Structure 1
């Protein structure tokens, strides 16, 4: 992976963590329960894993010449990612709802979207800091 790709991955990951911390602060005031915090952390871990999977698939796809192979790999990996997400959510709901709040897990997974939306702002902050040094 190139330096720009690694920086992008760090910026999105920082956005995911920032979203999770903000959700935890909000949970302190709205619904302070241990299962909620554990659910948010589990959701963050799942979001990070999904993001890493997406990044690796895109990195591999950039090296492939055949567009049909790229499309096939991308679709298969996306289906596998979301099937695993559904299996994890169902398992949490059925077996571990006392430990992890299922709604909090879903909110934590949505940190992936928030991380992608926060990436441009985090990038601007990172660029300012490197220019200031």
Structure 2
């Protein structure tokens, strides 16, 4: 993985972690239950795992020269990623809802979207900080 790709992955991951921290702070005032915090952490871990999986697939795709193989590999990995997410969510709802709040898990997973959208802002902040040094 190149330096730019690693920086991008770290910036999005930072966005996911920051979102989870803000969600936990909100949960502290709105609904302070252990299952909510555990659900947010599980959701964050799932979001980070999904993002890492996407990064690996994209990195592999960049090295492959056959467009049909890239398309097939991307579709298969995307379907597997979301099936695994659905299985985990169903398991949380059916079996572990006393340990993990299912709504909090979904909110934690949505941190992936927030991390992706906040990456340009985080990049600017880090770029300005490195220029100032």
Gaps of 5+ in 2: none
Gaps of 5+ in 1: none
1:43 positional shift? 0.1
Structure 2: how far apart are the matches of 1:63 and 1:126? 29
1:103 alignment counterpart: 103
2:2 alignment counterpart: 2
Q: Does residue 26 of structure 1 match 2:22?
A: no
Structure 1: how far apart are the matches of 2:4 and 2:96? 39
1:132 positional shift? 1.1
User: 1:47-98 CA deviation, whole Å, 9 max, x = no partner?
Assistant: 0000000000000000000110000000000000000000000000111000
Structure 1: how far apart are the matches of 2:129 and 2:81? 35
Q: Give the secondary structure class of the aligned counterpart of 1:32.
A: coil
1:129 positional shift? 1.1
1:117 alignment counterpart: 117
Structure 1: how far apart are the matches of 2:66 and 2:122? 34
Structure 2: how far apart are the matches of 1:9 and 1:60? 15
Structure 1: how far apart are the matches of 2:105 and 2:67? 35
Q: Give the TM-score normalised by structure 1.
A: 0.99
Structure 2: how far apart are the matches of 1:115 and 1:67? 28
Structure 2: how far apart are the matches of 1:2 and 1:38? 34
2:37 alignment counterpart: 37
Q: Which 4+ stretches in 1 moved above 6 angstroms?
A: none
**Aligned 1:37-116 pairs, distance under 5 A:** 37-116=37-116
RMSD across aligned positions (CA): 0.4
Task: Give the length in aligned residue pairs.
Answer: 133
